[in-house]
Amino acid sequence: MDKIVMKGMQFYGYHGVYPEENKLGARYQVDVELHMPLDQPGTTDSIDDTINYAEAYQVIKDIVELQVFQLIEALAEHIASRLLQTYTGINEITVRVLKPHPPVAMFFDGVSVEIHRKRA
């Protein structure tokens, strides 16, 4: 299956289990893979035959920056659900959310979740 990949999107959100996370916020990185046929837009060279990734970016940005979730699992699920609802041309979607600096007493590069959803 063809796909559009939007990688390394950076946002500032207020997600987390701890009250200080909801107050101070943190940086999040989001990657999405939009699985869909791209032969038609490849032939027509028309934005009307594909996903406008600037619009998709705004959908993702609004979810990350304007909503609050305790878990990055829920954040990823909402991104996947909204994109599948908004863009009927997407057959499957993979969403990765990275929380680079979780407020825990461990030293590592961060924690991420990856989900993959298919159109019902």
Spatial distance between the Cα atoms of 72 and 60, rounded to a whole number of angstroms:
13
Mean pLDDT, residues 27-43 taken together: 97
pLDDT in tens, 54-81: 999 999 999 999 999 999 999 999 999 9
Residues forming the active site: 99
Give me the residue spans of the domains in the chain.
3-118
Architecture of the CATH domain 3-118: 2-Layer Sandwich (3.30)
Spatial distance between the Cα atoms of 24 and 112, rounded to a whole number of angstroms:
20
Q: Is the pLDDT of residue 105 over 70?
A: no
The residues, ordered by sequence, that sit 6+ positions from 53 with a Cβ below 8 Å of its Cβ are 4, 6
The number of residues making up the chain comes to 120
Nearest to 95 by CA among 6, 1, 16: 6
